[in-house]
Each structure stands twice: as structure tokens, then as C-alpha cells.
Structure 1
Amino acid sequence: MTKRFYIAKDIDLLEFKAINEWGHPRHNHHFYELTFVMDGKGQHLLNESTVDYKKGDIFFLAPKDEHEFIIHEPTTFGIIKFTEQFFMENASLSKNTYWLKNLQSIVFHSNVIAKSVIEIESDRKQLFGLYCLIRDELLNKISYGHRVIVELFGALLIILSRNLKTSTHGIPNERLSEKGRVDDVLSYIRQNVLQRDMVKVSTIASVFHLSPNYVGIFIKKHLGISLQKYIQQTKIKMAESLLKQSNLHVNEIAEKLGFTDAAHFNKIFRKYVGVVPSKFK
């Protein structure tokens, strides 16, 4: 049986050397993962495919992917683990739009061909350099470290995004969306929940080539709740993180998350969490 791994942080990093065995059973995650091969050789088993790996390769895994490594030569792996929440929080606090725009390339990436994500050779050095900078910031934990990590990872995200776009160029959308359609729709909603027009039934139907009449049925079938309720739940999860990790006032959070006013926000928040936002904070 495939094992599922979890992380407690929105972004984390692990670096280790595997001599004879990778040390983890075949598994998937509830988070996204970038695996940097610092040295060594072997094979990467990703979903139903097997590819050789070598020094300088980078593999991207979404929550739906299952994988493991077979070690042929001692290998040093550098792994960045991150959640959608990491991007959602920073996108909501920033005027920059690159977070959400580039995240879509990653969220909707499907490992049709299980191979290293690097398609533009000149990007390899940059991606490994950014990995090292992020690793050092996470380890040192000095002033403004989180802000630095956000900016460094933003740069890494953009470079990764253009390589993923290149790797999927020419592959029919139907093929890319076959696997994990449900996860893709829900991820799309989570990433665009702050933009009302983007999560309209008509927009979702257009993006995923579904009938507008079927979108609500599709969500209800797989989640057991309505589209509107799922959007509310997503906003409340974002609100919880903002209340814990930012200095924003309740009315500012209510405005950012698109609630009518603070009173409406208080009512919905209490409905799902059991207490009003000020008590939760």
C-alpha cells in the first residue's frame, strides 16, 4: 500500500545522502515537492514510469504523484517541500501577481513524462543556486529570513514555471487533465478563491472543458458539499493562517478575503471554527 507523507510547515527543506537505499517506501504527499539531485545516479519511479536520474536533475512532484528512488550510486538529495497555503498567504499580502499566475503552471502540471523538469539548460545553475540560498536561509533563521525565503522562492517558482511550460508544450490539454481532474479543479479554486470572477461556475466550466450545469454536480459528487460551501471553507482556512501569522486586523482580513463586511466575516468564521476571529487570534 502506498504511504502518504505530511508536513507541519508551509515550506520545509531536507538534505540527505542515500548510500544503498533511499530509505522511504513508495509514497505520495499532501504537499508539493522539488527534489534536487546533488550527486549520484539511479532510477526514479514516478507514477507508472521509470526514468534514470543523475547529478543536476530536478524532479517536481504534486500531491497526487507516487514515487520512490532506486539508488545505483550514493546520492545526495536536496528536497524542498511546500504547500499551496504558502503561496496563498503571500499572494494575499502582496500586490504582486506573479504568485498566482505562475502557480497555475505548477498546480496544473501533470507528470505525463516522468523526467527532470529542466528543459532550458541555462536555468539549471540558477535553480540549484536558489536552492542553496533557500536552504541557508531556512537553516540560519536570521532577521527577515521568512521574507527573504518568500522572494527567493518566488524567483525559483518563475524559473520552474517556464521550464514546465516548455516541457508540456504541444501536449494536448485533454491528456494533461485526464489524471487527477478532481485535484486540479479543487486546486484551481483554492488558488483563485480571492478573485470572484475566476471561481464563477462559467469560468471553471470553461477552464476545465466541463458543462456549466455539471460543475456543481461534479463538486458535490466528489466532496459531498456545494461549490459555494467549498469556497467558504477555503476562505476560512486562509483566514485562520492570516490571523495566526500576520498583524492584519479582522476587518482588513475580511476585506482581503472578499466578505461583505466584518460582521459577515465574523458570522461565517464562527460557523466553521466555533469562535469569532478576535477570539481565535
Structure 2
Amino acid sequence: MEQIHDTFAIEIVDYSEWKERNRKNNFFELVYILNGKGLHRVNHIAYPYRKNGIFLLPAARCHMYVIEKKTRFLFLRFTASYFLPNPNETVDYSKWFNSLNFIIGNHDYLSGELIDNLDDRMQLKRLLDIILYEYQKKAGCSTFIIQNTLVSLIAIISRNIQDKKYRGHHFTDKKIAEILNFIDFNLLEPEKLTVGYLSQKFNISKNYFSEYFKRNTSQKFQDYLICSKLRIAGARAKFTDVSFQEIASELGFTDSSHLNRMMKKYTGKGMRETRKEIQNNRN
């Protein structure tokens, strides 16, 4: 596999019969079906795939393919650190980190065909064509173009996961769906998650906001914030090699001990137990 960056790689392979591939635990992998059909098995559940199918696999997920017709796969692999700030760059990728965290925290919605919307599916294909072209070209600005195109690609995936997440929910007040969506995409920006900020942004009385939130979600506002952060923390523990201290710092917990206490309080399991879950599933 040829690489342009040690945290990003593309591979195109043809398989008539599936062969086990070596996947690093800290990589996400986007799979695009260029041709062929068969079944995609994730954690022992089978999902059909076909030409132009798109899947996104969090790191460490147990998966394989049952190939019914010779298949050409495009594997695009990356880590979150591919977008770490570079002192020589002026581009702010913070929104990309928000989208990636949303995807990580809602990985349960990733199983099976990723994109239901036909227009979005074609848009993703165009973006993948750009990434593949620049990857092969390796010109002066290729890495920059790939990064920015991948940002757009992740945003489209986030939008489709969002649609799946709230599908079937019938909120009596549509504004609450907008608030929940805003919170989910801004969990790394605490200044945007205060009652004062949210009440002003969504034109709700500051004194009434907490009551309004609980009435429409059956959950206290602060509990929802903590549970949303813990959902991401748990997914990070399972699907990345990031230290617990880094996870705690990024999500606004005092330290790893504080994060661990909250995890045990709300889920009944600490961070170490959560990380071991995925390891046990792989053995």
C-alpha cells in the first residue's frame, strides 16, 4: 500500500474471494464498492453490498466480506491525527473534528449501507474521485486538496447519520431537534453549550430553557450533555488508542479520574472495562 502520509492511505484491490487484511486499531476505514456484489459482515451481522455502496468502519470492528461477484474495493484509511493542526497551515479543521466526534459517538448508526440518499451517494462518489485523482497525481497541493475534500466527505456522512439517528422521532416542537443536533456537533466547544448561549441562539428564555429541554427530551440538560460526552469517550476507548487523559481533556473533564468516575456513574463500567470490551470481541 502506497502512502502519502503515515495517517492516511488509499488502496484499490480486486477480490474473487475475501482475504483477511491487516488493519491498525487507530484507523477509520471508508470502503467504496467500485464493482461487484456480496455480503458485508460486521460483528457477525450480514449486510448486502453492491456497486457504488459506501461503508465506514470504526477502528477495531470485526468484519469480513462474502463475495458473490468479483469485487473491486477502494479502501480509504485515516486517523483523526491526519488533521492535527500544522503551524504552517492557516486552515481551521475544528469543524471536521466535531463531525468526526459525532461519527465516533454514533457509530451504532454506521452498520450496513451508509448513504440512503441517492444525491448524497453521487456526491460522495465525485468527492472520492477527486481524492483518488490527487492521491495518484501527488502534486504540490495534493495533500491540501485531499484534506479539504475529506472534510466535505465526512460532513455528508455526518448528515446521513444524523438523519438515521432522528428518524422515527416525533418531537412535538421541531426546535428541540435543532438544539440536540447543535449540541451533538459542538461537544468540543464548551462555550457553545451553556444555557445562556443556547437560550439566546434558539430564542428561548434563559430561565425557561432547562424546563423546556426536560419537557421535550425527558432528560435534564446537564445529564444529556454528560451522556453525550460519555458516548464519545466510550467509543474513543473502544475504537482508538488515545489515552484516557487525552480523551478527558478533549471532552472537558478535569482529568482521567474524573472521566472514569462519570463513566462508572452513568454506564456502570469504567474506561478500562470499556476498552477491554472491544479487545474481548476480537479474541
TM-score by length of 1: 0.61
What is the 5 A alignment of 1:69-218? Answer: 69-89=65-85, 94-111=91-108, 114-169=111-166, 177=231, 182-183=237-238, 190=246, 193=249, 198-200=252-254, 210-211=264-265, 218=270
Q: Does the 8 Å contact 2:59/2:240 carry over to 1?
A: no
The answer to whether the 8 Å contact 1:13/1:79 transfers is: yes
Q: In structure 2, do the counterparts of structure 1 residues 119 and 198 end up closer, same or farther at CA, with 3 Å as the change threshold? A: farther
Change (3 A) 1:87 1:107: farther
Q: In 1, Cα distance between the equivalents of 2:86 and 2:103?
A: 16
Percent identical pairs in the alignment equals 21
Deviation track 1:183-213 (CA, whole Å, cap 9, x = no partner) reads 26976975785x5x724359x759x76539x
**Contact kept in structure 1, 2:42 and 2:64, CA below 8 Å:** yes
Paired residues of 2:41 and 2:65 also in contact (CA < 8 A): yes
Question: For residue 35 of structure 2, what is the amino acid of its counterpart?
Answer: D
Q: Give the direction of change, closer, same or farther, for the CA distance of 1:169–1:37 in structure 2 (3 Å limit).
A: same
Asked if the contact 1:37/1:54 (under 8 Å) is kept, the reply is yes
State yes or no: 1:48 paired with 2:44. Answer: yes
Relative to structure 1, the CA distance from residue 68 to residue 9 in structure 2 (aligned partners, 3 Å threshold; closer, same or farther) is same
In the superposition, the TM-score normalised over structure 2's length comes to 0.60
**1:58-108, Cα deviation, whole Å (9 max, x unpaired):** 111011311111110111111100012113346996335312211112222
RMSD: 4.3
Which residue of structure 2 lines up, in the alignment, with residue 244 of structure 1?
none
Count how many residue pairs are aligned between Structure 1 and Structure 2: 212
The aligned counterpart of 2:196 is none
Alpha carbons of structure 1 residues 185 and 65: separation in structure 2 relative to 1, 3 Å? closer
* 5+ long unaligned stretches in structure 1: 1-6, 224-281
Partner SS, residue 168 of structure 1: helix
Q: Is the 8 A contact 2:80 2:97 kept in 1?
A: no
Q: In the aligned structure 2, how far is the partner of 1:218 from the partner of 1:58? A: 33
How far does the alpha carbon of each residue in 1:113-162 deviate from its partner, in whole angstroms, 9 at most, with x for none? 73111032210011111111101111111011111111111111111111
